[in-house]
């Protein structure tokens, strides 16, 4: 295998890492702040997760039985493979025509580099999953909880497949997406309505990105044991609405950065570009949060509670979008800002829930002003 450090793609990765590292070092204050926010978030996740694990691993839950546990393991493997596959295909598409495409590279060199890049990504995931499992195992009363074993095996299997699978592009799929994007560009041009129509381009872009749908399967884990079968469709719908909201933010963010990249040659007002996506985002968010709230209500939540959660979901999506807007010049800070806002909101709910709308408004306004700078 030509996996020497002189593999140009791996060299590019090393250089990028080096550049990112020197950038972090150059901005000490910001890096320290981000690290702190990450630590606070991790602490919060530990605190929430702790009670979750004790409940999930209690004897007598369906997950203590081999078959449901095995299903969860398979879902884990599937999610990891799906993620690796879409990443490998993306890289293969880039490699087919990038600046090194005409270089005298051995046939396997670029495929190996892809496998390495995708594989190290999968390895990181595996590490994360196993650390979580180790923690769960420590908290569990049994010596070897079936669910933990299933998740460990599933993630290991998924990562192994991701390692061994060379990222081959599926050409017809790539072409189809390009054709659709082109069609939407034509639609925008024909309308000559300016920026408003940029949002329309989000629809085909959404098809291109990896869906987080496989993760919906994990929602089953959270269903209380006593869930009646009749409530399951409602619950599935509810979690689907949640994951689709996540997808919505992800798709929008990728598209927004891409649009900004080619529109940046224009001395363009940031908020005019931002406004372009609002109709699309508002429509989607409204529909998804209404489905979410309706499901909650149908499943037995009091009307007021369901309404409050509906508003919170919509507010969360809006906040995430504003964070994307605020960090448009340095997209690397997007997750950090999201985490920070998350920590602030959670802290407020714990300390002084009535202040939540005000705090949220404060976060949103800061992000808006930051983005407009």
Partner 1 sequence: MNRVHPETLLQVEDLHLSFGANAVLRGVDLAIVRGQLLGLVGPNGSGKTSLIRAVTGLLPVAPGQVRIAGIDLAVDPLAARRQFGFAPDPTRLPPALSGRQALSVAAAARGLDTTPASTLELAERLGASRWIDQRIETYSLGTRQKYAILIGLIGDPPLLVLDEVMNGLDPISSHELKLELIERCERRHCGVLLATHGLEIAPTLLTDAALLHEGRIRHRWGSVELGHWRHADPGAFERAVVAALRSDPAG
Partner 2 sequence: MTAILQISNLSKTYASGLQALKPVNLDIQRGEIFALLGPNGAGKTTLISVICGLVRATTGSVLVDGHDIQRDYRSARSLIGLVPQELATEMFETPLATAAFSRGLFGRPPDPALIERVLRGLTLWDKRKDRIQTLSGGMKRRVMIAKALAHEPRVLFLDEPTAGVDVELRRDMWALVRELRDAGVTIILTTHYIEEAEEMADRIGVINKGELILVEEKSRLMAKLGSKTLTLQLQDPLALLPPELAQWQLTLKDSGHVLEYRFDTNAEENGIPGLLRRLHELGIGFRDLNTEQSSLEDIFVSLTGKRAEAAA
Binding site for partner 1 (CB under 8 A): 6-8, 11-12, 15-16, 19, 97-107
Binds 16, which of partner 1, partner 2, none (CB < 5 to 8 A, cut-off by type)?
partner 1
Instruction: Pick the closer one to partner 2 by CB: 193 or 349.
Output: 193
DSSP 141: S
The answer to the question of residue 263 lying near partner 2 (CB under 8 A) is yes
The answer to the question of residue 97 lying near partner 2 (CB under 8 A) is no
Binds 101, which of partner 2, partner 1, none (CB < 5 to 8 A, cut-off by type)?
partner 1
Closest CA to 224 of 280, 300, 312, 291: 300
The answer to the question of residue 188 lying near partner 2 (CB under 8 A) is yes
Contacts 24+ apart (CB under 8 A), 71-75: 72/147, 72/150, 72/151, 72/154, 72/217, 72/218, 72/220, 72/221, 73/150, 73/151, 73/153, 73/154, 73/157, 74/154, 75/154, 75/214, 75/217, 75/218
Binds 30, which of partner 1, partner 2, none (CB < 5 to 8 A, cut-off by type)?
none
What's CA 364's distance to the chain center, in Å?
21
- Residue listed under structure tokens 């309505």: 193
Please check whether residue 133 is in contact with residue 81, taking contact to mean a CB–CB distance below 8 angstroms.
no
Q: Calculate the dihedral angle through the C-alpha atoms of 362, 365, 370, 373, rounding to the nearest 10 degrees.
A: -150
The answer to the question of residue 52 lying near partner 2 (CB under 8 A) is no
Instruction: Pick the closer one to partner 1 by CB: 105 or 231.
Output: 105
Binds 105, which of partner 2, partner 1, none (CB < 5 to 8 A, cut-off by type)?
partner 1
> Residues with Cβ < 8 Å from 18, sequence gap 6 or more?
none
Instruction: Pick the closer one to partner 2 by CB: 65 or 329.
Output: 329
The answer to the question of residue 272 lying near partner 2 (CB under 8 A) is yes
The answer to the question of residue 351 lying near partner 2 (CB under 8 A) is no
Least distance in Å: CB of 12 to partner 1? Answer: 6
The answer to the question of residue 178 lying near partner 2 (CB under 8 A) is no
The answer to the question of residue 99 lying near partner 2 (CB under 8 A) is no
Number of other residues whose CB lies within 10 A of the CB of residue 189: 10
Binding footprint of partner 2 on the chain (CB under 8 A): 23, 26, 185-186, 188-190, 192-196, 262-269, 272-273
């Amino acid at each position: 295998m030509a996996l020497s450090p002189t593999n140009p793609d791996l060299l590019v990765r090393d250089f990028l890492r080096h550049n990112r590292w020197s950038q972090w070092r150059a901005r000490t204050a910001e890096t320290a702040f981000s690290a702190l926010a990450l630590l606070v978030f991790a602490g919060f996740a530990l605190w929430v997760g702790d009670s979750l694990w004790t409940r999930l691993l209690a004897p007598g839950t369906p997950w203590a039985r081999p078959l449901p546990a095995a299903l969860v393991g398979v879902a884990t493997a599937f999610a990891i493979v799906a993620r690796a596959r879409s990443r490998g295909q993306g890289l293969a598409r880039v490699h087919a025509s990038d600046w090194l495409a005409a270089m005298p590279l051995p046939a396997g060199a670029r495929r190996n580099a892809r496998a390495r890049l995708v594989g190290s990504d999968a390895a990181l995931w595996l590490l994360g999953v196993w650390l979580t499992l180790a923690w769960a195992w420590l908290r569990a009363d049994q010596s070897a909880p079936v669910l933990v074993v299933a998740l460990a095996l599933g993630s290991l299997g998924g990562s192994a497949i991701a390692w061994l699978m060379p990222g081959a592009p599926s050409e017809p799929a790539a072409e189809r997406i390009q054709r659709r994007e082109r069609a939407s560009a034509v639609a925008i041009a024909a309308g000559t309505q300016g920026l408003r129509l940029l949002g329309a381009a989000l629809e085909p872009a959404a098809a291109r990105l990896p869906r987080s749908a496989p993760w919906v399967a994990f929602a089953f884990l959270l269903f209380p044991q006593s869930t009646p079968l009749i409530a399951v469709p409602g619950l599935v719908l509810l979690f689907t609405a949640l994951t689709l909201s996540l997808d919505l933010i992800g798709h929008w963010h990728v598209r927004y950065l891409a649009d900004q990249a080619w529109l940046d040659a224009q001395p363009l007002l940031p908020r005019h570009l931002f406004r372009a996506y609002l109709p699309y985002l508002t429509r989607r968010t409204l529909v998804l949060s209404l489905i979410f709230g309706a499901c909650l209500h149908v499943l037995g939540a009091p009307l007021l509670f369901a309404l409050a959660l509906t508003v919170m979901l919509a507010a969360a999506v809006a906040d995430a979008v504003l964070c994307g807007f605020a960090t448009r010049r340095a997209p690397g800070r997007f997750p950090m800002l999201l985490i920070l806002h998350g920590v602030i909101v959670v802290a407020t709910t714990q300390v002084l829930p009535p202040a939540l709308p005000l705090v949220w408004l404060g976060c949103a306004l800061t992000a808006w002003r930051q983005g407009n700078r």
